[in-house]
Amino acid sequence: MHTSRLLRQFLERHAEQEYVSLGELVEELGDRAYGPLLVICALPEALPLPVAGVSAIIAIPLMLVSAQLSLGFSRPYLPKWLAKRRWKQKNLAKVVEKGLNYLAKAEKIVRPRWGFITSRLAQRLLGLFILLMAIVIALPIPLGNMLPAIAIVVISLGMSEGDGLLVIVGVVAASIILAVMVSAIGFVANSLRSSFQQLRQQLNF
């Protein structure tokens, strides 16, 4: 079953609830939880759709889940305080429904291929890579959240669907994003250092 369908069924089963939690999602998805859980956690940052109470809990579950994936856990385990963290069902539905429009289109060309890229060992390495991207999302970098989050969605979707080619596309895109961000930060740091040195020279003069 495609990731979009899994998430849609989750929303349908909890349509009458006012609040839903990450713990409920993990429990229902079982051993297929990694991909959809990473997708649903990254979606609020990947979409230009700010929703109060959702984006505030993005980085922590992304880091926890990706760390567990890298350690080889068969399924993600959330601490009770995070598993019980709730947000309004209508807010979650707003984010997921927006994302499902894109996921459904992507799934038309997604198919199982290059299985060695989505093997258990490879997924542990991907977990480390996603952890790095989650740390970047957690940093207070202006406009630095959306592109890493999109990359996480692409990689996670490829993992969930068994599409190694899609995973490679996401990893390459994420690597380019990281390289550009590091270069930009380095450029700003060098500019600030040069300005500070010039200021010191002028004051000494």
**DSSP secondary structure string for all residues of 148-183:** HHHHHHHHHHHHHHTBHHHHHHHHHHHHHHHHHHHH
Q: What is the pTM of this model?
A: 0.79
How would you write the pLDDT of the chain (205 residues) with one tens digit per residue?
A: 677 777 778 777 877 777 777 788 788 777 777 888 888 788 777 776 555 444 445 678 888 889 999 998 888 888 888 777 777 777 777 777 777 777 777 777 888 888 888 888 899 999 999 998 888 887 777 666 788 888 998 998 888 888 899 999 999 998 998 888 888 777 777 887 887 777 777 776 5
Mention every residue, 6+ apart, whose C-beta is less than 8 A from residue 129.
155, 171, 174
Q: Is 19 strand, coil or helix?
A: strand
Q: Is 113 strand, coil or helix?
A: strand
